[in-house]
Structure formats: C-alpha cells, structure tokens
C-alpha cells in the first residue's frame, strides 16, 4: 500500500497506525473494565469480558493490516487452522520476535477465539496495554528465581497456583491459550548458554504447557503446534523495524493440529512417570519442529 514511499516515512506511518489503533482500542477496553471493576458480580464481569473480547478482535484486524500497510507481506502457510471462533485451543509456538504476537493476531482474527498470553508481571504497568490485558483476563505471571524460593520457601509453586486461577477464568469465554514454550525469544547467545540440542530452537519448558492441559484439557478441541520463520532473518535479528519499514516481505507458518489425548493430561509436578512421558512428547514435537525449520530453510536457499 505504501511500498513506493521512502522507508523512514513508511516507518512513521506504520508506527502511528500501530500506536493510535492500540491506544483507541485499549482505551475502549479500559472503559469497559471500569464496569467490570465497579460491578463485582461474576455474571456481569463475564459479560463485560465478552464485549471486551469482541473489541479485542478489532485490534487483531488492525494488527493484521500492518502486514500489508508498508508492503504486502507474502504468507506461506502450510496446514490449516480450525474455523471455530467459539471453541477452545492451545497453541504451542516457537518465539523469535515481538512480531510473533502480531502473527498470532493475524492467524486468529477470524478463525479462532481471541488469544490469551501468559504475560510477565512487569507488563501490567505498561500504559494502556497493561490495564487492557487485565480487563481481557490475561494472566500476569511473576516468576521466582531459585534464590528467592530458597529465601522464602512459601513462594514454591505460587506461579503454578496463579496459572490454575487464571485458567479457571478461561472456562467461561472461548479462548486460544498461546504458549511460547521456549519461555523467551531465541538469540544466538541464549542458544549457546542453554546448550540447546536443536539447531533453530531453544529447549522447550514442559511445566506450563502440561499444567494448562491438566487444568483445561477437557475443554480444548485441539492443540495447534505453530512454527514460524521470517525468511531472510536469523535468530536475534530485529523484525519489528523491518515490518514497519516495509522490508519484511515474507512470513512462513506451519500449523500442525494435534488431538488432546488422555495421555497428555496428568499431574506433571507430582507424577514422575507422567512428567517423563510429557517431556519426551514435547521434546519429540520440538525435534520435528526443528527439522521442519531446517527443511524450509534448505528449500528457500
């Protein structure tokens, strides 16, 4: 759409579009949140959450537009998404950039219930975004280091208790729970530090994924294993700037639909046999994902 403009002008226009649409939709959701706060009746709060969720879908369409505002991004999508905005799904994905969230918005905007992310506690204080995410019932997670737990043993398992509480809220509104299983964005430094056995991924963390399945597995229609690649960009490269300047021209996405079988639901933290089984299952999925990325990169060369 803006392909013929100089890159700095495209960057400014794209940034303004993202900022103003986020501000407008975010403030609308915050206003809805006032009703949610002032009327502490569960049925009323669930109604407000549903209305806010509809407004949130508008943000998904606005972010999807980002991919054709500065330059029409070519989407290479292998596999397909369910067409069920009223269902419940768990997405497991690799994590390369903040742009991953916009990719998820693009994929979910019409076919899936709106996504919920597990967010770092610090993001609650980001203006507009933090309160908006609270209104949308997104879980803010506070991770505790081994040193903190050693000093205060009562913190052991508190993050899991928070996950349980938030997952209960997801039962009342169609939701796509998104889990970036690596826990952080891939960079060469993190890859080396973790001594990852994978070429293009960090080792996945099984606990959060397993617990979400334990808490909500009976509701999930499917697990969606999503693999993302930004052709021409390596791990650790900035992707946001190229998107805003119209330099991101392709996005590759592979979607694998997996049934939620009984063997994937168990007590990860108290059942050693199940924990080993689930870790083996997730590591096998990650090996397949790693090979899929390698195969795609070889084809693209």
pLDDT digits (tens, 9 = 90+) for 191-210: 999 999 999 999 999 988 88
Percent of the chain with pLDDT over 70: 89
Rounded to a whole number, what is the distance in angstroms from the first to the last CA of the chain? 28
133-156 pLDDT, tens per residue? Answer: 778 877 776 665 566 666 766 656
Going by C-beta distance under 8 Å and a sequence separation of 6 or more, which residues neighbour residue 27?
128
Rounded alpha-carbon distances, angstroms, from residue 203 to 11, 73, 210: 34, 30, 15
Residue at token pair 């994978």: 198
Confidence of residue 36 (pLDDT cuts 50, 70, 90): confident
Q: What is the mean pLDDT of residues 155-163?
A: 63
**Interhelix angle for 158-170 vs 206-216, to 10°?**
40
**pLDDT given at position 170:** 75
Helix (H, G, I), strand (E, B) or coil at 228: strand
Mean pLDDT computed over every residue of the chain: 87
**pLDDT given at position 276:** 96
Q: What is the mean pLDDT of residues 170-178?
A: 83
Confidence of residue 57 (pLDDT cuts 50, 70, 90): very high
Q: What is the mean pLDDT of residues 36-44?
A: 81
Residue 250 pLDDT more than 90?
yes
Q: Specify the pairing of strand 222-229 against strand 175-180.
A: unpaired
Show me where the domains of the chain are located. 7-300
Q: From CA 145, how far away is CA 167, in angstroms rounded?
A: 23
H-helix segments, 70-117: 99-108
Q: What is the mean pLDDT of residues 227-251?
A: 92
Confidence of residue 235 (pLDDT cuts 50, 70, 90): confident
Half-sphere exposure of 153 (CA within 13 A, CB side): 0
**pLDDT given at position 261:** 93
Whether 123 and 203 have beta carbons less than 8 Å apart is answered as no
**pLDDT given at position 161:** 66
Q: From CA 171, how far away is CA 113, in angstroms rounded?
A: 12
Pick the CATH number of 7-300 from 1.10.760, 3.40.720, 3.40.1130, 1.10.1200: 3.40.1130
Confidence of residue 130 (pLDDT cuts 50, 70, 90): confident
65-116 pLDDT, tens per residue? Answer: 999 988 889 999 999 999 999 899 999 999 999 999 999 999 999 989 988 8
pTM attached to this predicted model: 0.87
**pLDDT given at position 93:** 96
Residue 13 pLDDT more than 70?
yes
Question: Bigger pLDDT: 252 or 211?
Answer: 252
Q: What is the mean pLDDT of residues 277-294?
A: 97
Helix (H, G, I), strand (E, B) or coil at 116: strand
Q: Phi, psi at residue 41, to the nearest 5°?
A: -105, 125
């Amino acid at each position: 759409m803006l392909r013929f403009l100089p890159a700095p002008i495209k960057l400014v226009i794209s940034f303004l579009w993202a900022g103003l649409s986020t501000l407008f939709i975010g403030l609308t959701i915050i206003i809805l949140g006032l009703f949610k706060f002032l009327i502490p009746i569960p049925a009323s709060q669930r109604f407000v959450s549903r209305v806010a969720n509809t407004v949130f879908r508008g943000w998904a369409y606005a972010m999807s537009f980002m991919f054709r505002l500065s330059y029409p991004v070519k989407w290479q999508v292998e596999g397909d998404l369910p067409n069920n905005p009223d269902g419940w799904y768990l997405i497991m994905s690799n994590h390369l950039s903040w742009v991953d969230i916009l990719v998820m918005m693009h994929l979910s905007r019409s076919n899936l219930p709106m996504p919920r992310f597990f967010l770092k506690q610090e993001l609650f204080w980001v203006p507009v975004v933090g309160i908006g995410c609270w209104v949308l019932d997104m879980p803010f997670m506070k991770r505790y280091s081994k040193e903190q737990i050693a000093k205060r043993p009562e913190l052991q398992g508190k993050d899991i208790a928070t996950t349980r509480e938030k997952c209960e809220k997801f039962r009342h509104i169609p939701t796509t729970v998104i889990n970036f299983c690596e826990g952080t964005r891939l960079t060469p430094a993190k890859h080396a530090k973790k001594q990852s056995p994978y070429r293009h991924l960090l080792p996945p963390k099984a606990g959060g994924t397993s617990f979400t399945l334990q808490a909500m597995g009976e509701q999930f229609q499917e697990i969606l294993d999503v693999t993302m690649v930004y052709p021409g960009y390596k791990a650790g490269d900035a992707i946001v700037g190229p998107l805003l300047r119209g330099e991101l021209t392709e996005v590759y996405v592979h979607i694998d639909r997996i049934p939620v079988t009984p063997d994937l639901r168990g007590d990860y933290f108290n059942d050693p046999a199940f924990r080993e089984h689930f870790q083996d299952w997730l590591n096998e999925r990650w090996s397949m994902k790693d090979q899929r990325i390698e195969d795609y990169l070889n084809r693209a060369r």
